[in-house]
Copies of this chain bind each other. A is one copy, B any other.
């Protein structure tokens, strides 16, 4: 961050008065440009004993499998974002059941919120960001070809919970650099 997005002046990087962190701020117009973590919202789409995964058509982790998820957009709720991402990436319609995992990734300033969801029909189709979309039961999951540690963590927990028939919220911190 080099220039003020409000007035175009060169920014300084210092601790503003009354603050305790370095921020980018504008000496000309006074705007402080805060930077905050981003929310990634997605879901585990269920169909009978299977779940729906997407093979990534984009970097990072092109060719690896993931749950439908992506950056939450302004103007939507977390669960609306999860529904939207599932439609965009997997061409799949889901009904959100409940929040299932909260994963903090402080090293890359992201927070994942993954929901359990019910797949409403089998008319899914790979979106622009996916090479392939497919249902997997537990033994078929491509464990060695999963895209992110957040996805592996969510799926491990999910199948354990399914054996017990209970799906409590899981909260987890993952400290690791990319790929998360």
**A interface residues, Cβ below 8 angstroms from B:** 1-8, 10-11, 18, 21, 24, 33-39, 71-80, 98-99, 102, 104, 106-107, 109, 111, 113, 128, 169, 171, 173
Q: How far is the CA of A10 from the CA of B98 in the complex (A)?
A: 43
A99-B171, A104-B79 in contact; A74/B2 too (CB < 8 A)? no
Are A104 and B75 closer than 8 Å at their CB atoms? no
Q: How far is the CA of A110 from the CA of B72 in the complex (A)?
A: 11
Chain A to chain B: the 3 pairs with minimum beta-carbon distance, closest first: A77-B104, A3-B8, A74-B109
User: Residue on B with the closest CB to A128?
Assistant: B18
A5-B3, A106-B80 in contact; A37/B74 too (CB < 8 A)? yes
In the complex, what's the smallest C-beta–C-beta distance from A178 to chain B, in angstroms? 15
Q: How many copies of this protein are present in the complex? A: 2
Q: Chain B residues near A73 (CB, 8 Å)?
A: 21, 36-37
Can you list 17 contacts pairing A with B, beta carbon distance less than 8 Å? Answer: A1-B5, A2-B5, A3-B4, A5-B11, A8-B10, A36-B38, A36-B39, A36-B74, A37-B74, A39-B39, A75-B107, A77-B104, A77-B111, A80-B104, A98-B169, A99-B169, A169-B169
Q: Chain B residues near A99 (CB, 8 Å)?
A: 102, 169, 171
User: Residue on B with the closest CB to A88?
Assistant: B20
Q: Chain B residues near A5 (CB, 8 Å)?
A: 1-5, 11, 24, 33
Are B79 and A171 closer than 8 Å at their CB atoms? yes
